Amino acid sequence: MILFKELPIDEYMWDWEGKYVDEAVGEKLFSRGEKLFSARPFGEDLHLTYRIPAFDGEKMHRMARAFMNILALGDLAKDIGVKRPPVTEMFLPLTTSATQPMRVREAFREIAAYHRSVFHKGKPPYASGLRRGRADTDLLKLFDVTPLVEDVPSLLSIDKIIGPYWKKLLQECPEAQQRGQRLFLARSDPAMNAGLIPAVLAVKVALSLAKGIADDCDMDVYPVLGTGSLPFRGSVNPAYLDTFMQQYSGVRTYSIQSAFRYDYPKAEVCEALKRMQKEVSTYRIIRISDLDRKNIVRLCKIFTEIWQPTIESIAPLINDVASYMPQRRERLQHIGLFGYSRGIGKVRLPRAIGFTGSLYSLGIPPELIATGRGLVKAGEMGLLDVIEQHYPALREDLKHAGKYLNRENLAMLASKKSVFREIERDIDAIEKILEIELGPEKPRHIIHRNLTSSIYQRLMTGESSKEAIQRDLVEAAVIRRSLG
């Protein structure tokens, strides 16, 4: 409610995936926001969108609760005279095939029919002719399951997911053509699984393919991009507006996370959000040729094959540092009864914030890992120009990340383990090939470097308290304006 009141945003994602959620969110919003929703109707001007758990056919209790919550909230809205159901869309995580959103849509339809037969005697809860300009307000006609695609291979072949799904959807619900479809592209998890350059290039390919499928279906596509503040997670922050809007041209909705909201002055945040609302629609999706797309697939394979074994080798250190990261949200446990985890190969890793924050806290920004060696191979294959064309912000991203590099920490780690010597090779290659210099530039970057030296020494000696390490971690995060 506070965010709707104080920031120029029009949608909030309520996350049922991997987190504990307040199932009374709808009642609380209606009861506390009567004045706000009178001016900006809930379900019309302001939106609540649920990110539901992945549909795996097994641990389905949380999805079932999300379904019933949406239906019950629709009943509440009708009872108090709201013209539209408040929630008409779900984001489906970990989508890798067209079958998954189809099955979720069918499951929701069946539960909605049962709910209707019991509580509404078979009559639609929204059966009138009330309209929002283009579609009847019957929940089942308005309802969308939006695929959330989170891995590089799926992004690179996203047409195989959305092509069959959208065509099936249009057969069942012709209204979907008029309102268009959204598509949620992850940016953090692809980077965790494959590295910086594959994550960016795969998103660019996905945007291009989605535009082609949408054109074939004669409808509009409105891509959503899930991002963070640091370059590894998308560089979406108030100080980077022009760069990321150009980099991800065609994206219509950006996920604004806590670093964007709280680590910059409020006036700067509001101004940035207003600019985004005004300008993102002026950027068009850039179509990628078949030849470039094939070359990008080759590039992603090159970088991923360097990235994954490197991260597997340093995973114990990442997990060790992550154990000291302050927890900002109440998540379900990564293992055990409510298991939900991320990993590479045979190792388990923290989620994106912990992963990114751990490496930055050591002075080894993840943007730099595998990138130099990948650029060397790309040069040998004559593909550097493909990267330059489709990732024009690469130099700026790496220079920004490089301000937080601690060469001394890296050298000490390299003296103990060869994988860190490979990361040193990355840095040398980046500087040589891109003709940039990595390292602290301003006094605050030097302070950050000193803090990461302190963190490293505290970890290595084992003589400091958890509180002392956390204090340094947080102070470093404040300087770079993002925990991770």
Say whether pLDDT at 380 is over 50. Answer: yes
How far apart (Å, rounded) are the C-alpha atoms in residues 271 and 263? Answer: 14
Which range (188-192, 280-284, 340-344) has the least confidence? Answer: 340-344
pLDDT in tens, 96-113: 999 999 999 999 988 888
How far apart (Å, rounded) are the C-alpha atoms in residues 195 and 398? Answer: 13
> pLDDT at position 342, please?
63
- Quick one: pLDDT band at residue 341, thresholds 50, 70, 90? low
- Quick one: pLDDT band at residue 124, thresholds 50, 70, 90? low
The mean pLDDT of the chain is: 91
Pair 159, 271: CB distance under 8 Å: no
Question: Per-residue pLDDT averaged across 179-207, rounded?
Answer: 97
> pLDDT at position 120, please?
80
Enumerate residues 6+ apart whose C-beta is below 8 A from 423: 310, 364, 368, 369, 410, 414
Pair 172, 324: CB distance under 8 Å: no
**Bigger pLDDT: 112 or 55?**
112
Which range (36-40, 207-211, 229-233, 268-272) has the least confidence? Answer: 36-40
**Bigger pLDDT: 386 or 172?**
386
- Quick one: pLDDT band at residue 57, thresholds 50, 70, 90? low
3-state secondary structure the chain: CHHHHHCCCCEEEEECCCECCCCCHHHHHHHHCHHHHHHCCECCCEEEEEECCCCCCCCCHHHHHHHHHHHHHHHHHHHCCCCCCCCCEEEECCCCCCHHHHHHHHHHHHHHHHHHHHHCCCCCCCCCCCECCCCECCHHHHCEEEEEECCHHHHHCCHHHHHHHHHHHHHHCCHHHHHCEEEEEECHHHHHHHCHHHHHHHHHHHHHHHHHHHHHCCCCEEEEEECCCCHHHCCCCHHHHHHHHHHCCCCCEECCCHHHHHCCCHHHHHHHHHHHHHHHHHCCCCCCCHHHHHHHHHHHHHHHHHHHHHHHHHHHHHHHHHCCCCCCCCECCCCCCCCCCEEECCEEECCHHHHHHHHHHCCCCHHHCCHHHHHHHHHHCCCHHHHHHHCCCHHHHHHHHHCCCCHHHHHHHHCCCHHHHHHHHHHHHHHHHHCCCCCCCCHHHHHHHHHHHHHHHHHHHCCCCHHHHHHHHHHHHHHHCCCC
Pair 184, 226: CB distance under 8 Å: yes
Residue with tokens 């004669």: 218
Domains of the chain are 2-282 (3.20.20.60), 290-480 (no CATH)
Say whether pLDDT at 128 is over 60. Answer: no
Question: Per-residue pLDDT averaged across 145-165, rounded?
Answer: 98
| 331 DSSP β-pair partners | 19
> pLDDT at position 42, please?
86
Question: What phi and psi values does residue 230 have, to the nearest 5 degrees?
Answer: -80, 155
> pLDDT at position 38, please?
86
